[in-house]
């Protein structure tokens, strides 16, 4: 095993995305004495099989398994990662997004609660958060497969996971079975940008069931065939719709495709998002009558999409400081309209205002007529600035109204409300409940904040505020263990009120008291 070698392992079926990922890998600062290698696996029958083949072919001690659409935007990532591994030989694998406790139904994709990543899945949105405390990492039960770094080789379970789902959760559990830690390190800056599209969850439920059957020794889980039962049919419909629209563009019917997206109910679907944006650019450029256009009559969808993706990549390079800025800008200036540039910035930029100002300066310095065109869009990005200021004002107001204690109950009834009042003042308490009894007078809790939903909704709505806004959490009921898992391995004091001496399915961290 070569202790000074770092191997990047990537399963590839999109050469454009892979090529772009390489640009970011090549720009990383490599620690002195170390060298890197990139292993591309093409035509892999499954993710686990592809990773096994690459792992066995490499002598590198450190291996970083990433998706082809993950861009490593933190240039000192390798230094931080090696420092992490060398600081604790028990750390086997590290990721950028994870969950501290596996949900009882193994639906992990909805329960990432540790780490962070810049994601294109939702425009201008950062997914995840972290609660590290004094340590430089958080122990987790599973990490997302977009980024998985190891310092030991453990075989991937291609015998069970012969597709593209749950290989990452499985591998996390394999490391835990081997007595190694799976962690999410503290990120001084964002390590990764996920240039992702809509996930294909066609077989997600199948592999979720396989996971539960094979890893019940790691965590008590129960198979429930719930909303995911119709997932296969739903996924097929989405992909079929996308293919129909692509075929229409190939046939020169782009105006008809654009007409479809003028209806509100057809807008905002992630799987169709890129086609919708291409149509938006086409209609805008058609109206402007300029010569620089993304689409020209007779173009096939794949050619249009390739140019669209290239614009996205060029803008991302400028935003995150990769490659030659002047060369990247020159290609943008020559190939794309200022309207197309503005649309892509709004849709995909992490910091749209900053990127717009940087490009405005580049257009100005180039003494090109497009500077005047691009300047016209300034109000759009000024509006964003006002919006951000508005958020700050709202945040300041909310700081004055924070409910410092949180109570979680299954149902808000007259009886459960009495239990809450015994230990809390209603004026400084927030209540999370999955349902409200129809006979309960909601008016008596107007001074308290009432949230309705489930554990998944609580995590994704509150995100980092879940750990910053509350000085104490009381959870009532044996059946609310999923909420306990949310606060496992955090610093938030939690009291779990149970019956019949119940203590949960796993041993929880010291911040959780069972009474």
**Is the model's pLDDT at 384 over the cut of 80?**
no
Same domain, yes or no, for 201 and 260? no
pLDDT at 415 over 90: no
Write 327-335 long-range contacts (CB < 8 A, 24+): 329/359, 329/362, 329/366, 332/359, 333/362, 333/363, 333/366, 333/368, 333/370, 335/292, 335/307, 335/310, 335/311
127 assigned to some structural domain: yes
Q: Flag whether pLDDT at 385 surpasses 60.
A: no
Domain-terminating residue out of 363, 389, 415 = 389
* pLDDT at position 465: 65
Write out the H or E segment, with its range, that includes residue 361: helix 352-365
Place of tokens 């927030």: 430
Looking at residue 251, its pLDDT comes to 97
Q: Is the pLDDT of residue 246 over 70?
A: yes
Q: Are residues 244 and 329 in the same domain?
A: yes
Mean predicted confidence (pLDDT) in 237-265: 93
Residue 395 pLDDT level (bands cut at 50, 70, 90): very low
> What are the start-end ranges of the E strands in 385-499?
405-412, 429-436, 449-452, 472-476, 494-497
Choose the final residue of a domain: 389, 414, 433.
Answer: 389
Q: For the residues 269-292, what does the mean pLDDT come to? A: 88
Tens digit of pLDDT for each residue in 419-437?
888 887 766 788 888 888 8
Q: Say how many domains are in the chain.
A: 3
Which domain, by its residues, includes 324? 233-389
Which CATH number does the domain housing residue 146 bear? 3.90.550.10
Is the predicted pLDDT of residue 24 greater than 90, yes or no? yes
Question: What are the contacts of 370-378 at 24+ separation with CB within 8 A?
Answer: 370/333, 370/338, 373/337, 373/338, 373/339, 374/338, 374/341, 374/342, 376/338, 377/338, 377/342
Per the domain annotation, does 227 fall within a domain? Answer: no
Share the mean pLDDT of the chain. Answer: 86
Q: Kindly report the CATH number assigned to the domain that includes residue 428.
A: 3.40.50
Same domain for 378 and 407?
no
Q: Are 18 and 109 in a shared domain?
A: yes
pLDDT at 230 over 70: no
Q: Which of 463, 475, 494 is nearest to 434 (CA)?
A: 475
- Please report the pLDDT score of residue 393 as a whole number: 37
Residues 306 and 439 in one domain: no
pLDDT of the residue at 107: 85
Per the CB < 8 A criterion, the answer to whether 496 and 484 are in contact is yes
Q: What is the pLDDT of residue 129?
A: 53
**Do 466 and 407 reside in the same domain of the chain?**
yes
Give pLDDT, residue 389.
Answer: 43
394 domain-assigned: no
- Mean pLDDT to the nearest integer, 448-469: 68
Lowest-pLDDT choice from 23-37, 76-90, 475-489:
475-489
Residue 133 pLDDT more than 60? Answer: no
In a domain, 395, yes or no: no
Q: Is residue 306 situated within a structural domain?
A: yes
- Please report which helix (H) or strand (E) contains residue 193, including its range: strand 192-194
Lowest mean pLDDT segment, chosen from 80-84, 342-346, 462-466: 462-466
pLDDT at residue number 391: 38
In the chain, the percentage of residues whose pLDDT exceeds 70 is 87
Read off the pLDDT of each residue in 7-35 and give the average, rounded to a whole number. 97
**pLDDT tens figures, 186-203:** 888 899 999 887 677 778
- Does residue 339 sit in the same domain as residue 449? no
**pTM > 0.85: yes or no:** no
272 and 348 part of one domain: yes
- The tokens describing 96, both together, are 């950028």
Question: Helix 338-348 vs helix 301-320: angle between axes, to the nearest 10 degrees?
Answer: 70
Residue 128 has pLDDT above 70, yes or no: no
Matching residue, tokens 């000024």:
382
Query: What are the C-alpha distances in Å from 328 to residues 315, 394, 480?
Result: 8, 38, 52
Mean pLDDT across 16-32: 96
Q: Are residues 378 and 503 in the same domain?
A: no
pLDDT tens digits, one per residue of 60-106:
999 999 999 999 999 999 999 999 999 999 999 999 999 999 998 88
| Distances in whole angstroms, Cα of residue 263 to Cα of each of 339, 353, 453 | 22, 29, 30
Six token digits for residue 167: 């290989």
pLDDT of residue 424: 77
User: Is residue 220 domain-resident?
Assistant: no
Same domain as 205, residue 181:
yes
Range with the poorest average pLDDT among 56-65, 183-192, 456-465: 456-465
Over range 300-317, report the average pLDDT: 96
User: Does residue 222 belong to any structural domain of this protein?
Assistant: no
| Residue 484 and residue 454 share a domain | yes
Sign for the CA dihedral angle at 167, 169, 171, 177 comes to negative
Q: Is 319 left (phi over 0), alpha (psi -120 to 50) or beta?
A: alpha
Q: Do 381 and 465 belong together in one domain?
A: no
Q: Which of 356, 389, 422 is the last residue of a domain?
A: 389
Q: With contact defined as beta carbons under 8 Å apart, do 467 and 459 qualify?
A: no
For residue 55, tell me if it sits in a domain.
Answer: yes
Say what the pLDDT of residue 55 is. Answer: 98
């Amino acid at each position: 095993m070569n202790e000074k070698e770092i191997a990047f392992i990537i399963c590839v079926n999109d050469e454009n995305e892979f090529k772009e990922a390489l640009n970011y890998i090549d720009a990383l600062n490599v620690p002195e004495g170390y060298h890197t290698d990139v292993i591309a696996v093409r035509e892999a029958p499954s993710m686990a099989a592809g990773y096994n083949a690459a792992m066995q072919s490499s002598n590198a001690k450190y291996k970083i398994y990433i998706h082809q659409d993950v861009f490593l935007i933190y240039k000192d990532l390798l230094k931080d990662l090696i420092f992490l591994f060398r600081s604790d030989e028990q750390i086997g694998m590290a990721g950028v997004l994870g969950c501290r406790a596996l949900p009882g139904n193994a639906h992990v994709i909805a329960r990432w609660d540790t780490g962070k990543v810049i994601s294109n899945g939702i425009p201008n949105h950062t997914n995840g958060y972290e609660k590290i405390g004094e340590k430089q990492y958080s122990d987790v039960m599973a990490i997302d497969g977009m980024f998985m770094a190891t310092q030991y080789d453990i075989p991937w379970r291609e015998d069970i996971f012969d597709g593209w789902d749950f290989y990452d959760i499985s591998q996390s559990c394999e490391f835990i079975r081997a007595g190694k830690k799976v962690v999410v390190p503290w990120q001084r800056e964002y390590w990764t940008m996920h240039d992702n599209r809509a996930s294909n969850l066609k077989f997600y439920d199948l592999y979720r069931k396989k996971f539960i059957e094979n890893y019940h020794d790691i965590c008590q889980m129960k198979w429930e065939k719930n909303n995911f039962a119709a997932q296969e049919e739903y996924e097929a419909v989405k992909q079929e719709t996308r293919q129909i629209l692509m075929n229409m563009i190939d046939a020169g019917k782009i105006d008809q495709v654009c007409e479809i997206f003028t209806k509100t109910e057809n807008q905002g679907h992630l799987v169709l998002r890129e086609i919708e944006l291409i149509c938006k650019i086409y209609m805008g450029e058609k109206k402007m009558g300029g010569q620089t256009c993304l689409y020209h009559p007779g173009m096939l969808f794949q050619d249009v999409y390739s140019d669209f993706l290239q614009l996205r990549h060029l803008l991302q390079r400028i935003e995150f400081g990769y490659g030659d800025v002047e060369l990247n800008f020159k290609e943008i200036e020559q190939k794309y309209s200022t309207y197309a540039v503005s649309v892509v910035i709004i849709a995909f930029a992490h910091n749209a205002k900053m990127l717009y100002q940087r490009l405005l300066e580049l257009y100005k310095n180039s003494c090109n007529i497009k500077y005047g065109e691009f300047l016209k869009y300034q109000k759009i990005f000024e509006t964003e600035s006002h919006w951000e200021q508005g958020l700050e004002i709202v945040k300041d107001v909310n700081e004055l109204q924070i409910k410092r204690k949180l109570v979680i109950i299954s149902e808000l009834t007259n009886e459960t409300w009495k239990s809450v009042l015994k230990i809390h003042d209603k004026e400084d308490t927030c209540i999370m409940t999955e349902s409200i009894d129809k006979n309960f007078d909601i008016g008596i809790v107007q001074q308290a904040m009432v949230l309705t939903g489930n554990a998944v909704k609580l995590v994704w709505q509150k995100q980092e505020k879940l750990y910053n806004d509350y000085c104490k959490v009381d959870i009532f009921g044996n059946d609310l263990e999923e909420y306990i898992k949310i606060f496992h391995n955090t610093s938030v004091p939690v009291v779990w009120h149970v019956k019949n001496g119940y203590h949960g399915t796993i041993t929880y961290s010291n911040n959780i008291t069972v009474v």
